[in-house]
Amino acid sequence: MQDTDSAIFENAPVGLLYSEDRVIRRCNRRFAATFGYEAAELEGQSLAMLYPSLDEFDTTGQHWVKELSAHGAYADERIMARKGGALFWCRVRGQSLDPAAPLARAVWSFSDLSAERPVVPLSRRERQVGMLLVEGLTAKEIARRLEISPRTVHVHKTRLMSRFGVRNSLELVRCLTSMPL
């Protein structure tokens, strides 16, 4: 059975990762290829190397702890970084193996969304606000999640609307999900 389990893990149609304290302990070929690496290059490395910035790595970790502690599972779509720094949209799903210590041991899946959602350069905060708008959060919910004021969320949203040449939130979400970010 062990050989079958290993074959299933290695040949899964999505990138799979087992992490301990946000360090990659094992990943399949699909995961490594998605990020432009060989699996051996990633194992033992911090997940930080796959984020656009250390700040985004830290902020995401804080959010993961809250969600995994509350629900045991996590899901979002976010911008990640490939080897060499190229940014791309990625669907992330995670499951904690120990709810008392949510990041101690976790299993993750990563799906490359590049074909559906290419990346357009935005500031870190614009990306954060945009991703949360796409998830359907209100300005107040985004403000709470990012620990900023609702007014600041509206400023970023207004900039995004201007940048994409749209008049309302619905048009903005449509652009964010169908146009490059």
Q: pLDDT tens digits for 88-97?
A: 889 999 999 9
User: Which amino acid is located at 168 in the chain?
Assistant: N
- Cα–Cα–Cα angle for 47, 76, 180, nearest 5°? 95
Q: Give the three-state DSSP class for 97.
A: coil
Say whether both 105 and 161 belong to one domain.
Answer: no
Say whether both 108 and 169 belong to one domain.
Answer: no
Indicate which CATH number applies to the domain containing 140: 1.10.10.10
Does residue 92 contact residue 108 with C-beta atoms inside 8 Å? yes
Instruction: Examine residue 50 and state whether it is found in any structural domain, yes or no.
Output: yes
Instruction: Give the predicted TM-score (pTM) of the model.
Output: 0.69
Range of the domain at 80: 2-112
Say whether both 95 and 155 belong to one domain.
Answer: no
Q: Give the three-state DSSP class for 16.
A: strand
Say whether both 70 and 30 belong to one domain.
Answer: yes
The domain total for the chain is 2
Rg (CA), the chain: 17
Query: What is the pLDDT, as a whole number, of residue 120?
Result: 67
Instruction: Examine residue 118 and state whether it is found in any structural domain, yes or no.
Output: no
